[in-house]
């Protein structure tokens, strides 16, 4: 089947001429002469035309009213409007309603064909995006929070209830690796904003200056290197969800700016005098105790209370060990599909070792264990020897495995038990201790600049010899 085109034209001869032309170009063309017939095609028969070419003034009304109805009913397709007498109010209304173009008759077929081709590209991109959103919505349904234990069922019921309400802000708490990102995606894709964008921001991964620019955007010349206009994450998440992971790492002055945007629903890009309206649903997450951060003065209490309209605390894996019997087969199937492996049998010894382990890295660590075992499996049997959960039960139960320093070598576990910023802080603290808290010597040992190291020392609240 070719690309679909719906022509709405009351001049039968002109409509047939357009139909013949586009049929010769490989289009599937449907032609109607009235708004009644067009409504029947679009709303009753759910005709999914990629492009709608409509005369604006029809015997039984204006095509602008039909366009407005189609937009409110979320009927897909790009609209091109034709009129014998162009008017500024009509053209403004057409563009406000999202029409692709507004052309005056008579329009040469060559030019019209170019405009229709452009509308086709736009409609195809929109259709692809809609399919991707639909796939994401199916992937991140509430049932993707797997488990049958009582605490998991309670948590899943809470996620289901939150996904049903149009909340403005929410805080997700829990240890590192418990699935805060998964919960945020479920709340977005199963909620009323599922058709909008979801923007993820890791506040710990960006320096303060870059985070400000990425969050709020900037205008050309706002700072050195700002060569063009940049829409920040808040603007990109308009009518969707902004997920702020590790929000406890955000500087206090940025917290103030974020609070102002959430309260006013308006922002100013860096270097701009014009305010931009934004409508975002904010989900904030942290593995730190935000209430304690507020008491310590490291997090603004007014921002915390603005974000904490609802609070969702996710349980650690050690409190839902019964869910292993559902989570592990799901992960095995996932990594089988990715790697082409054929692991089918999971011995009881695997679950016994998993239940005896404390899982300091939670589900993230479990994913690493399953991936390693599937990739190194020689047959259909899940290999117990490649789980590598520790040298003995005592080590597994107390979770004492961690970073270690041996001479000039530093070892850090990659089992999910340490977050990236914790690794970074540990490396810097070790280098400072070995250099006698000499920042210049520590920076030389780490292969970085003194200024960069000073920034990270302040970020992690470490002490150096210059204080």
- Band the pLDDT of 394: cuts 50, 70, 90: very low
pLDDT value for 157: 96
Which pLDDT score is estimated for 393?
35
Mean pLDDT confidence for 315-329: 95
Kindly state the average pLDDT of the residues 385-406.
Answer: 57
**44-71: per-residue pLDDT in tens?**
888 888 999 998 888 888 888 888 888 8
pTM exceeds cut of 0.85: no
Quickly state the pLDDT bin for 308 (edges 50, 70, 90).
very high
Place of tokens 């810097």: 428
What's the pLDDT at 467?
46
Interval 445-457 mean pLDDT = 84
**Packed helices 362-376 and 324-339: angle between N→C axes, nearest 10 degrees:** 50
- The stretch 213-236 carries a mean pLDDT of 85
Domains of the chain: residue spans and CATH:
4-136 (3.40.50.2300), 144-315 (3.40.50.300), 318-398 (1.10.8.60), 419-460 (1.10.10)
Confidence at residue 84, expressed as pLDDT on a 0 to 100 scale: 74
Q: What is the pLDDT of residue 396?
A: 39
- Predicted pLDDT of residue 319: 94
150 pLDDT band (50/70/90 cuts)? very high
Under the banding of pLDDT at 50, 70 and 90, the label for residue 413 is confident
pLDDT of residue 447: 83
% of the chain residues with pLDDT over 70 = 93
Q: Which of 226, 250, 242 is nearest to 284 (CA)?
A: 242
Question: Using CA atoms, how far apart are residues 37 and 291, in angstroms rounded to an integer?
Answer: 61
Does residue 115 carry a pLDDT above 50?
A: yes
Given this model, what pLDDT does residue 452 score? 83
pLDDT attached to residue 62: 86
Mean pLDDT for the chain overall: 86
What proportion of the chain, given as a percentage, has pLDDT over 90?
Answer: 48
Q: Higher pLDDT residue, 102 or 309?
A: 309
- Identify the pLDDT of residue 400: 44
Q: Is the pLDDT at 213 greater than 50, yes or no?
A: yes
Calculate mean pLDDT across residues 370-383. Answer: 93
Residue 72 CB-density burial (10 A; 0-12 exposed, 13-18 middle, 19+ buried): exposed
């Amino acid at each position: 089947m070719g690309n679909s085109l719906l022509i709405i034209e009351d001049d039968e001869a002109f409509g047939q001429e357009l139909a013949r032309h586009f049929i010769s170009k490989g289009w599937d063309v449907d032609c109607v002469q009235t708004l009644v017939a067009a409504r029947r095609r679009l709303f009753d028969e759910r005709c999914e035309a990629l492009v709608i070419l409509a005369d604006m003034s029809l015997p039984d009304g204006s095509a602008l009213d039909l366009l407005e109805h189609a937009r409110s009913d979320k009927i897909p397709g790009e609209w091109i409007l034709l009129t014998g007498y162009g008017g500024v109010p009509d053209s403004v209304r057409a563009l406000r309603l999202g029409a692709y173009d507004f052309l005056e008759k008579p329009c040469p077929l060559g030019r019209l064909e170019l405009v229709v081709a452009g509308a086709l590209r736009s409609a195809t991109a929109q259709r692809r995006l809609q399919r991707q959103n639909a796939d994401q919505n199916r992937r991140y349904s509430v049932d993707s929070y797997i488990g049958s234990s009582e605490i998991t069922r309670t948590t899943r019921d809470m996620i289901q209830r939150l996904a049903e309400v149009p909340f403005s802000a929410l805080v997700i708490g829990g240890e590192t690796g418990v699935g805060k990102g998964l919960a945020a995606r479920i709340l977005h894709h199963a909620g009323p904003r599922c058709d909008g964008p979801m923007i993820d921001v890791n506040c710990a991964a960006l320096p303060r200056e870059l985070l400000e620019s990425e969050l709020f955007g900037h205008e050309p010349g706002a700072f050195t290197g700002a060569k063009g206009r940049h829409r920040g994450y808040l603007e990109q998440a308009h009518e969707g969800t902004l997920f702020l992971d590790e929000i406890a790492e955000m500087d206090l002055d940025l917290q103030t700016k974020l609070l102002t945007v959430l309260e006013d629903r308006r922002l100013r890009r860096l270097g701009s005098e014009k305010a931009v309206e934004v409508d975002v649903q904010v989900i904030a997450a942290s593995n730190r105790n935000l209430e304690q951060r507020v008491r310590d003065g490291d997090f603004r209490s007014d921002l915390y209370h603005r974000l904490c309209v609802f609070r969702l605390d996710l349980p650690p894996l050690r409190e839902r060990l019964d869910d292993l019997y559902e989570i592990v087969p799901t992960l095995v199937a996932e990594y089988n599909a990715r790697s082409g492996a054929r692991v089918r049998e999971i011995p009881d010894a695997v679950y016994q070792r998993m239940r005896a382990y404390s899982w300091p890295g939670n589900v993230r660590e479990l994913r690493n264990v399953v991936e390693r075992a599937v990739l190194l499996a020689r047959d259909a049997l899940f290999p117990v020897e490649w789980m590598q959960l520790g040298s003995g039960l005592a080590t597994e139960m107390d979770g004492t495995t961690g970073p270690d320093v041996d001479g000039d070598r530093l070892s850090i576990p990659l089992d999910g038990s340490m977050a990236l910023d914790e690794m970074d802080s540990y490396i810097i603290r070790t280098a400072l201790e070995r250099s006698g808290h000499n920042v210049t010597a520590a920076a030389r040992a780490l292969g970085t600049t003194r200024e960069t190291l000073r920034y990270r020392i302040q970020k992690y609240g470490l002490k150096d010899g210059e204080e």
